[in-house]
């Protein structure tokens, strides 16, 4: 009855995660299906065999054996633990971003998705990525909570207005896949949808070579000067703020003795709420940029700060256990 060709009963399987999710899902369907079927058949069997009849007005003497009680506490528990361990293993896998992932930036706003590539391309409700290459999306929201959901990849991540979230996938098949907003966000929530275009690497290179406004880092550099960040964050020790060269990815000592790793959220917080974490040896003199810098511009600034780390010492940024990327890493910033 459901053999109509256009009716999918199973989502497309187009990422490295998808087969793992499907395997666990099928396992759960089979075991819980068998469990439920066993219960239904038993109920029907007992309700028919022991139905009320003139010779069965009274319940009969005797009960089901007592050991059953223990059996149906222990057996489901063991099954639940298997589900827990398998599910947690998969969750770790979904959460851990491969080191060689291609970086993309995404912003959700009512009601569209905007994506920025390090080389400077920008797209709306559409994201071009190469096949067979891990892609990492750093996500921010301009307003309310959104959630980026790609069913064919079996990944989803809420997008928050006050911190960066990261989601990654490695597409395994060329094609166009739905991209949805999964967290209700207002009037046109159901229109906050788009496509992910998975392309052959060569097509992707061609697409990237199309027009852009300069690399994201260079746009960030321009903003760095526009907001006069460079007056304090100078390239030598004469400035009133810390030197930013080589900071990203390093461990920073703070005024209160704590140490933090300078990751995406640290950079973001340092721009929007500079008083929260002050680098050892500096005063709380930086003004806040909350409400002055858009999420898209913040991502540009982040890309610039990241590029400063790479400029300082390429080997220090990449962690030592990095595997060589599957395809040659494109140099960031054409011609810059």
Q: Within positions 291 to 320, which residues make up the interface with other proteins, using CB under 8 A?
A: 291
Considering only residues 81, 253, 261, 329, which one is a binding residue for other proteins as defined by CB under 8 A?
81
Q: Which of 131, 104, 102 has its CA nearest to residue 115?
A: 104
User: With CB under 8 A as the contact rule, which of the stretches 84-92, 224-232, 245-253, 306-314 interacts with other proteins?
Assistant: 84-92
Question: Are residues 159 and 146 in contact, defined by beta-carbon separation less than 8 angstroms?
Answer: yes
DSSP 288: P
Nearer to other proteins, 105 or 204 (CB): 105
For residue 196, count CB atoms less than 10 angstroms from its CB and return exposed for 0-12, middle for 13-18, buried for 19 or more: buried
User: With CB under 8 A as the contact rule, which of the stretches 78-86, 123-131, 232-240, 324-332 interacts with other proteins?
Assistant: 78-86
Considering only residues 97, 99, 122, 151, which one is a binding residue for other proteins as defined by CB under 8 A?
151
Largest CA distance in the chain: 101
Q: Which of 235, 224, 216 has its CA nearest to residue 299?
A: 216
Considering only residues 19, 30, 32, 280, which one is a binding residue for other proteins as defined by CB under 8 A?
32
Residues facing 198 on adjacent strands: 129, 175
Distance CA 325, CA 240 (A): 39
Considering only residues 86, 207, 227, 289, which one is a binding residue for other proteins as defined by CB under 8 A?
86
User: With CB under 8 A as the contact rule, which of the stretches 30-38, 99-107, 224-232, 320-328 interacts with other proteins?
Assistant: 30-38
Looking at residues 115 to 144 of the shown chain, list those that interact with other proteins (rule: CB under 8 A): 143-144
Considering only residues 77, 206, 213, 294, which one is a binding residue for other proteins as defined by CB under 8 A?
77
Question: Are residues 222 and 283 in contact, defined by beta-carbon separation less than 8 angstroms?
Answer: no
Number of residues in contact with other proteins under rule CB under 8 A = 88
| Position 288 contacts other proteins (CB under 8 A) | no
Q: How far is the CB of 15 from other proteins (least distance, A)?
A: 11
Considering only residues 114, 117, 154, 268, which one is a binding residue for other proteins as defined by CB under 8 A?
154
Site string for other proteins, 237-256 (x = CB under 8 A): --------------------
Looking at residues 185 to 214 of the shown chain, list those that interact with other proteins (rule: CB under 8 A): 185-191, 193
DSSP 287: P
Residues facing 148 on adjacent strands: 157, 181
Question: Are residues 129 and 198 in contact, defined by beta-carbon separation less than 8 angstroms?
Answer: yes
Q: Which residues contact 21 (CB under 8 A, 6 or more apart)?
A: 90, 154
Helix axes 216-226, 295-312, angle to 10 degrees: 110
Considering only residues 19, 91, 213, 261, which one is a binding residue for other proteins as defined by CB under 8 A?
91
User: With CB under 8 A as the contact rule, which of the stretches 81-89, 121-129, 221-229, 234-242 interacts with other proteins?
Assistant: 81-89
Distance CA 61, CA 49 (A): 15
First to last CA, the chain: 59
| Position 156 contacts other proteins (CB under 8 A) | yes
Considering only residues 13, 100, 112, 161, which one is a binding residue for other proteins as defined by CB under 8 A?
161
Q: How far is the CB of 242 from other proteins (least distance, A)?
A: 24
């Amino acid at each position: 009855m459901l053999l109509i060709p256009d009716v999918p009963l199973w989502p497309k399987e187009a990422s490295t995660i998808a087969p793992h999710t499907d395997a666990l899902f099928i396992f759960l369907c089979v075991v819980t299906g068998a469990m439920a079927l066993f219960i239904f058949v038993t109920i029907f069997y007992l309700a028919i065999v022991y139905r009320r009849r003139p010779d069965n007005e009274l319940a009969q003497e005797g009960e089901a054996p007592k050991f059953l009680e223990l059996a149906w506490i222990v057996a489901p528990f063991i099954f639940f633990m298997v589900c827990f361990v398998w599910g947690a293993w998969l969750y770790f896998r979904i959460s851990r971003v491969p080191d060689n992932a291609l970086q993309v930036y995404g912003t959700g706003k009512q009601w569209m998705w905007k994506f920025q590539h390090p080389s400077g391309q920008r797209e709306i409700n559409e994201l071009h990525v190469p096949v067979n290459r891990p892609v990492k999306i750093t996500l921010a929201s301009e307003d309310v909570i959104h959630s980026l959901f790609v069913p064919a990849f079996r990944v989803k991540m809420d997008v928050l207005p006050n911190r960066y979230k990261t989601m990654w996938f490695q597409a395994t098949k060329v094609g166009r896949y739905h991209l949805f907003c999964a967290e209700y966000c207002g009037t046109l929530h159901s229109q906050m949808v788009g496509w992910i275009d998975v392309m052959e690497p060569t097509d992707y290179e061609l697409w990237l070579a199309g027009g852009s406004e300069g690399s994201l880092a260079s746009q960030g550099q321009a903003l760095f000067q526009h907001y006069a960040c460079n007056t304090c964050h100078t390239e030598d020790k004469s400035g009133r703020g810390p030197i930013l060269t080589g900071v990203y990815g390093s461990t920073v000592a703070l005024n209160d003795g704590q140490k933090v790793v300078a990751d995406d959220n640290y950079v973001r917080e340092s721009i929007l709420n500079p008083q929260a974490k002050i680098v050892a040896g500096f005063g709380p003199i930086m003004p806040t940029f909350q409400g002055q810098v858009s999420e898209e511009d913040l991502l540009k600034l982040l890309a610039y700060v990241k590029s400063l780390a790479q400029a300082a010492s390429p080997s220090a940024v990449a962690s030592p256990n990095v595997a060589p990327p599957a395809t040659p890493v494109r140099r960031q910033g054409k011609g810059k």
